[in-house]
Structures are given as structure tokens and as C-alpha cells.
């Protein structure tokens, strides 16, 4: 049996920009993507702490250590610059894989720099 488990989590992320004229996604600082093993194009669930919105999109890579968390395309309607986000990704695991699986978390500071795991 396959079960859905959280693979990666970013907490304390703040929206730094919005760009309507794009196909749609969320830009995330490359250093954060690498820290939590999230690949460009990978599906993410985005939870907006400020307004309660939840949406699903895919990650794109922003410049490493830029602190950028940018909403693109239709996602711009889901938050405002300065809103705090939680960003999650999931994976499918076999029962035998679950006991040894370790998910990854990045806790960000007010500048979207990694301050903890």
C-alpha cells in the first residue's frame, strides 16, 4: 500500500514579490529548495497564514540566498507581499519505507533566510 507523507516543509516564509504575467507558480530561493530536497517543477501546497488561502502549484527556482518567495501568474491573487506562508510537499511511500523516512523542514527568519531545521 502507498501512503501520502509530508516530504518537505518551509515555515516562516514571507512573500517578497508578485508577477501576474507568468504561466503560474511560486518562486523559492534556491538555497531553501536545496535544504529541503525540493526540485524545480515539483508540486507544492501553499498555505497563507494571513488570509487562510490554500493552493497547489509548482516550485520554480529563484537566485540562491536572495530571500525571494514570489507568487507568479494566477497565484498572485492568493496573497500579498508580506504575507506569511507555509509551503509543503508530499511523497508516496510504501509501508516498508515509512519507518526510515525522514522529512525535511526549513524554518526561515524575517528575511527568508534559513535559521533552523
Cα angle 105, 110, 114 (rounded to 5 degrees) comes to 35
Active site residue 25: yes
Task: Determine which one of 22, 58, 66, 90 is catalytic.
Answer: 58
Distance CA 11, CA 87 (A): 7
Task: Determine which one of 25, 66, 72, 90 is catalytic.
Answer: 25
SS3 34: helix
Distance CA 27, CA 104 (A): 19
Active site residue 66: no
Distance CA 85, CA 65 (A): 18
Q: β-strand 25-29 against 54-62: which pairing, if any?
A: parallel
Active site positions, annotated: 25, 58
Amino acid at each position: 500500500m502507498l501512503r501520502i507523507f509530508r516530504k518537505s516543509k518551509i515555515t516562516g516564509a514571507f512573500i517578497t514579490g508578485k508577477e501576474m504575467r507568468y504561466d503560474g507558480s511560486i518562486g523559492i530561493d534556491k538555497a531553501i529548495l536545496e535544504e529541503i530536497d525540493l526540485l524545480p517543477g515539483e508540486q507544492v501546497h501553499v498555505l497563507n497564514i494571513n488570509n487562510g488561502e490554500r493552493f497547489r502549484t509548482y516550485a520554480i527556482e529563484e537566485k540562491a540566498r536572495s530571500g525571494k518567495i514570489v507568487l507568479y501568474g494566477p497565484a498572485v491573487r492568493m496573497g500579498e507581499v508580506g504575507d506569511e506562508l507555509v509551503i509543503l510537499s508530499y511523497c508516496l511511500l510504501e509501508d516498508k519505507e515509512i519507518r526510515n523516512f525522514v522529512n525535511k523542514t526549513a524554518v526561515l527568519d524575517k528575511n527568508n533566510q534559513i535559521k533552523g531545521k
